[in-house]
Structure 1
Amino acid sequence: MARTVARLIVDALSELGVRQVFGVVGDALNPVTDAIRTTEGLEWVGCRHEEAAAFAASAQSQLTGTLGVCMGTVGPGSVHLLNGLYDAAKSHAPVLAIAGQVPLAELGSDYFQEVDNDALFSDVAVFRATVTSPDQLPQMLETAVRNALGRKGVAVLTVPGDLGERELTTDRPARFSLNAPVSRPDESAVRRAAELLDRSERVTLLVGEGARAAREDVLTLADRLAAPMVLTLKAKAGFEGHDNPFQVGQTGLIGNPAAAAALDDADTLLLLGTDFPYRDWYPEGRTVVQVDTEATHIGRRVPVEVGLVGDTGATVRDLLGHLADGTEGARDRSHLEKARERFDRWRGGQARLADPAHDRSVVGRVRSALDNRAHDIRPEALAAVVDRVAADDAVFTSDTGMATVWLSRFVEMRGERRLVGSYNLGSMANAMPQALGAQCLDRDRQVVAFCGDGGLSMLLGDLMTLKTHRLPVRLVVFDNRRLGMVKLEQEQAGLPEFGTVLDNPDFAAVAEAMGITGIRVTDPAELEDGVRRAFRTEGPVLLDVLTNPDEVAVPAKPTVEQGWGFAVAKMKEVVRSHGEPSGH
């Protein structure tokens, strides 16, 4: 018996190993969701907002390297997917979106809720198509999936509402040939790169997520070159930890002075699996060698002397075969040792800031009089306690903004920890729905979301999805009653804070009203106990911690202009009219 369009799509997803499909039900999707209902091993996760569904699917794809799937019904339902799909596209996450559409005969008639999906998704998708005949499947589905996986992006397949129940005239199943190729750069380019690296006195590695699968090879290379290793944020998971004696943390606005100095002091930079976009943080006048699987990434951030297009692991192994033998002991290690000493000093200072007793010290009392007169909890202390309490295989997500800053500086991605965030698109509201997707993969693995209060409240409704599906996510809310990163950006530019104050509810009480355990911490002395209670409680938990809204995250290389702008902004805020609401 011939299968319907909906049945073929769902059977193919099941065959691919997809375990969850995220979305919001609607009439155009009814045949597809009904096929999911009757398919063993495939779970429909009904979300409260399609954007959350797309974020969840993207998180699953980033954590597994396999296909994430979400769905949005006709018109607004599909439009709501867009931001989460942009995040997947910018993160190079293979995601298939099934989008509903008006009945086939009404296409192009400006029908109720009609949206031109092929036009809507033209910028975000590596493949997009509307099914207009049952017999276009399974080939169209195969093409969509191969594009998503092969090009590491978003594929959108639009299905008109009256097409899902129609039968195909063929019984041929969808077939997927998904062997991932391993590419290597040209041999002559590898030799030239090795010669440059051998001649260099001070090499620094800038390592991205694209090198994560080649961790041991990269560590061997760092040892051979006596090179400090600067990590991008996405490379924290995989390269951070006590067993990596080369890493010196991140650079950029969320970074540290040791990492910035390691780049500045080098005569040669070796970029491995990274497209780090911030041009201002690359030192000028250095010799640069870049390894990336994408030829279009070579040299687009910083001028490159030698570009090696290929798989990072294979390329690093080829380089090791051409570099001078490190056992001869000729390589000076002072560049590495200096960078590590700086990094250790910086970490020691950060640990003092994160001590819950910091504000009771002499230095802390002086500092509090200037920036924490309400004696709110320091966000550094919250992040540090979570780092101590969380499991060594926990999955972390973080909202864009200050929550990511605190995670970057105070949470170590040791052991088998993983990290997901909107680190390329920089969207708000990603942490909670990405945690939702991560927890669906393994309900026994600890998942921790670092939520900003602005981000959490933007998609607050999907707390109910956690509750409905009994997903034991730990939501850690940095409740500073602010859009904190925007506040900091305004003040560094010499502008007084404006438009960033948030009139928040008691998020713990909101969680309790939704059937989720809520814990609220307002006293620094109760922080450790509150965090530990949140992590030992069964089921989903929201930990609402009132943190200092005036906390300053000093960038890796603070400038005089930033400091002056901050001082001017503070003066303007002090002389603000007494009648203007302050948000405190």
Structure 2
Amino acid sequence: MARTVARVIVDALSELGVHQVFGVVGDALNPLTDAIRTTENLEWVGCRHEEAAAFAASAQSQLSGTLGVCMGTVGPGSVHLLNGLYDAAKSHTPVLAIAGQVPLAELGTDYFQEVDNDALFSDVAVFRATITSPDQLPQMLETAVRHALGRKGVAVLTVPGDLGERELTSDRPARFSLNAPLSRPEESAVRRAAELLDRSERVTLLVGRGARAAREDVLALADRLAAPMVLTLKAKEGFEGDTNPFQVGQTGLIGNPAAASALQDADTLLLLGTDFPYRDWYPEGKTVIQVDTEAAHIGRRVPVDVGLVGDTGATVRDLLAHLAAEPPGTDGARDRSHLEKARERFEHWREGQARLADPAHDKGLLGRMRSSLDNRTHDIRPEALAAVVDRLADDDAVFTSDTGMATVWLSRFVEMRGERQLIGSYNLGSMANAMPQALGAQCLDRERQVVAFCGDGGLSMLLGDLMTLKTHQLPVKLVVFDNRRLGMVKLEQEQVGLPEFGTVLDNPDFAAVATAMGIAGIRVTDPADLEKAVRRAFDTPGPVLLDVLTNPDEIAVPAKPTVEQGWGFAVAKVKEIVRSHGDDSTL
């Protein structure tokens, strides 16, 4: 078989263990997609939008820790990849994007559909290059892949349309030897951090995704320090559940009062593998120790007393070795009251949340009073939907969530117990990510349950790729929080005293749309039907769209609600009522 540019690239992807390539076919990609067609164990997944293809590739990379691959053809096809690639870049996950280009002789002539890919991807990619000669392969491909894997980012390789079928003069195979380094901080810094921890009476851990591979070491450190463990959203996977007696949930706008108090009550804060970005949620006046593999992350969110640059597991083990067996000023055992207080608050908050999530909540006295104010049409509570999904989903399910209120309800009511995994656009904050990420996740394992928490705004933005699920018969379960709103934007407007504006969505019956596409569609409008509908969705083979009409006026109270936010909501509601009455009077 001739060693063409396309064949060398595709054979190398197969050798790397890539099983799917996501994209939309087109002129410059034809040699590459034809090479995929004739390659065993490599599947072309034709999407309806290149953005969905990039999200799917990013999801595969995040779940597997290996290379995700997507393709976009000349000009607009490559431009469409950009948002999904930004999500991969912000998620620090390796993705290779193959971008088509106009023929070599036309480069720089403002040819039809010509886009300067090297400029276009300059901000998002850790490596970008345009192949101008067949003999640049396989070295340029090797360089692109090593950059993506080694720097955990996006590499973009541009292939002009007349180059894919040209043959190489060399027969050297591509080689991708790459070992991840294990780094440790300086011992003097570890000793200094251990001394500060030994002298601290109340330590709280803020644990992020970078600590997930070191779970047992982190649990041992929490036990030694009698420290409550506040989790970032991405640390739910790996640290949540009854097997972690130290966790107290999350902080930030989607967090809870117990986590906020655990941070505020501490005298020392230990950050492990997190770059939690929200500065307002860090307490002031604390001793802060931060562990991160990236030196540039140390201290960029909160002032740090000791920065430890190194692998989380190795660093935590070094800290455990340097901590005193008996902290100074103690009788041999560290006081555990700080941990016990935080856990007690957390359990109390969880009990209250469980009551809100009961589908029968609105039938009780307090529920009826609450409904008269915020749910007069008796829509389904989103808390109830998330809680039922949590209870009925598999313990090894993969969850994805759209940015916005769907993520809020997942964060509070879905527990990442067992072998569950979670991905979302949690760094970029893009809309429309949940369904295409679920697409990529399901392609990895068609037998594993994949559940997408979709906002109605996010789902409708890339609605066409429902057909990709149908075409490839990917059994994703799409749970649509159909509140007819851009819910998070509505909440943002109201908390500063503005009436909601521009957030109302004129939605179709999404279940009927899915049915028309050949996908099982289920629509739920009555809270009494909720559990039965979720069970039916999970029991139905193939892809299913569960369209649940949820309460658009549901409020997720932040962990530290302020007086200003309270006044903002009150003023906004008055304005909304006045505007509504004014609208009625003109009819």
Which secondary structure does the structure 1 equivalent of 2:481 belong to? strand
Native 8 Å contact 1:59 1:420 kept in 2 = yes
Q: Cα 1:582–1:143, aligned 2, differ >3 Å: closer, same or farther?
A: farther
Give the CA deviation at 1:567: 0.2
Native 8 Å contact 1:520 1:545 kept in 2 = yes
Distance in 1, Cα, partners of 2:419 & 2:199: 36
Overall identity of the aligned pairs, in %: 90
Q: Cα 1:348–1:583, aligned 2, differ >3 Å: closer, same or farther?
A: farther
Using the size of structure 1 for normalisation, the TM-score is 0.98
Which secondary structure does the structure 1 equivalent of 2:330 belong to? helix
CA deviation vs aligned residue, 1:136-168 (integer Å, no higher than 9, x gap):
111100000000000000000000000000000
Aligned to 2:405: 402
CA deviation vs aligned residue, 1:159-210 (integer Å, no higher than 9, x gap):
0000000000000011011111111111111111111101100000000000
Give the CA deviation at 1:71: 0.2
Native 8 Å contact 1:436 1:473 kept in 2 = yes
Distance in 1, Cα, partners of 2:262 & 2:178: 40
Q: Cα 1:192–1:155, aligned 2, differ >3 Å: closer, same or farther?
A: same
Give the CA deviation at 1:470: 0.6
Q: Cα 1:139–1:355, aligned 2, differ >3 Å: closer, same or farther?
A: same
Distance in 2, Cα, partners of 1:443 & 1:421: 20
CA deviation vs aligned residue, 1:368-398 (integer Å, no higher than 9, x gap):
0000000000000000000000000000000
> Equivalent of 1:331, from 319, 334, 344?
334
Q: Cα 1:83–1:580, aligned 2, differ >3 Å: closer, same or farther?
A: farther
Q: Cα 1:190–1:581, aligned 2, differ >3 Å: closer, same or farther?
A: farther
Distance in 1, Cα, partners of 2:548 & 2:157: 42
Native 8 Å contact 1:378 1:548 kept in 2 = yes
Distance in 1, Cα, partners of 2:227 & 2:177: 40
CA deviation vs aligned residue, 1:241-290 (integer Å, no higher than 9, x gap):
00000000000000000000000000000000000000000001100000
Which secondary structure does the structure 1 equivalent of 2:581 belong to? coil
Native 8 Å contact 1:56 1:438 kept in 2 = yes
Which secondary structure does the structure 2 equivalent of 1:99 belong to? strand
Which secondary structure does the structure 2 equivalent of 1:70 belong to? strand
Q: List runs of 5+ in structure 2 lacking aligned partners.
A: 324-328
Native 8 Å contact 1:352 1:358 kept in 2 = yes
Native 8 Å contact 1:73 1:99 kept in 2 = yes
CA deviation vs aligned residue, 1:454-491 (integer Å, no higher than 9, x gap):
00000000000000001000000000000000000000
Give the CA deviation at 1:328: 7.5
Which secondary structure does the structure 2 equivalent of 1:504 belong to? coil
Distance in 1, Cα, partners of 2:61 & 2:294: 19
Distance in 1, Cα, partners of 2:28 & 2:394: 42
Distance in 1, Cα, partners of 2:574 & 2:455: 27
Native 8 Å contact 1:205 1:270 kept in 2 = yes
Aligned to 2:149: 149
Which secondary structure does the structure 1 equivalent of 2:580 belong to? coil
Which secondary structure does the structure 1 equivalent of 2:511 belong to? helix
Native 8 Å contact 1:193 1:306 kept in 2 = yes
Distance in 1, Cα, partners of 2:224 & 2:186: 22
Q: Cα 1:582–1:67, aligned 2, differ >3 Å: closer, same or farther?
A: farther
Distance in 1, Cα, partners of 2:278 & 2:585: 34
Distance in 2, Cα, partners of 1:244 & 1:582: 57
Which secondary structure does the structure 1 equivalent of 2:260 belong to? helix
Q: Cα 1:303–1:459, aligned 2, differ >3 Å: closer, same or farther?
A: same
Distance in 2, Cα, partners of 1:30 & 1:182: 41
Q: Cα 1:328–1:47, aligned 2, differ >3 Å: closer, same or farther?
A: farther
Q: List runs of 5+ in structure 1 lacking aligned partners.
A: none
CA deviation vs aligned residue, 1:32-72 (integer Å, no higher than 9, x gap):
00000000000000000000000000000000110000000
Moved more, 326-335 or 144-153: 326-335
Give the CA deviation at 1:578: 4.5
CA deviation vs aligned residue, 1:83-135 (integer Å, no higher than 9, x gap):
00000000001000000000000000000000000000000000000000000
Aligned to 1:545: 548
Distance in 2, Cα, partners of 1:2 & 1:428: 43
CA deviation vs aligned residue, 1:480-514 (integer Å, no higher than 9, x gap):
00000000000001000100000000000000000
Distance in 1, Cα, partners of 2:479 & 2:330: 47
Distance in 2, Cα, partners of 1:566 & 1:478: 22
Distance in 2, Cα, partners of 1:582 & 1:11: 69
Distance in 1, Cα, partners of 2:148 & 2:574: 52
Moved more, 570-579 or 306-315: 570-579
Native 8 Å contact 1:277 1:301 kept in 2 = yes
Distance in 2, Cα, partners of 1:123 & 1:380: 39
Q: Cα 1:274–1:495, aligned 2, differ >3 Å: closer, same or farther?
A: same
Distance in 2, Cα, partners of 1:247 & 1:580: 49
Give the CA deviation at 1:330: 2.0
Distance in 2, Cα, partners of 1:353 & 1:506: 27
Native 8 Å contact 1:481 1:583 kept in 2 = no
Aligned to 1:530: 533
Which secondary structure does the structure 1 equivalent of 2:86 belong to? helix
Distance in 1, Cα, partners of 2:582 & 2:121: 47
Coordinate RMSD, CA, aligned: 1.5
Distance in 2, Cα, partners of 1:579 & 1:573: 10
Aligned to 1:429: 432
Native 8 Å contact 1:2 1:170 kept in 2 = no
Distance in 1, Cα, partners of 2:568 & 2:446: 47
> Equivalent of 1:417, from 410, 417, 420?
420
Distance in 1, Cα, partners of 2:214 & 2:120: 37
Which secondary structure does the structure 2 equivalent of 1:158 belong to? strand
Q: Cα 1:415–1:577, aligned 2, differ >3 Å: closer, same or farther?
A: closer
> Does structure 1 residue 80 correspond to structure 2 residue 80?
yes
Give the CA deviation at 1:582: 13
Give the CA deviation at 1:556: 0.2
Native 8 Å contact 1:257 1:556 kept in 2 = yes
Native 8 Å contact 1:503 1:583 kept in 2 = no
Native 8 Å contact 1:87 1:424 kept in 2 = yes
Distance in 2, Cα, partners of 1:477 & 1:2: 48
Distance in 2, Cα, partners of 1:84 & 1:433: 10
Native 8 Å contact 1:2 1:169 kept in 2 = no
Which secondary structure does the structure 2 equivalent of 1:243 belong to? coil
> Does structure 1 residue 561 correspond to structure 2 residue 552?
no
Give the CA deviation at 1:565: 0.5
Give the CA deviation at 1:583: 16
Distance in 2, Cα, partners of 1:237 & 1:118: 36
Give the CA deviation at 1:577: 4.9
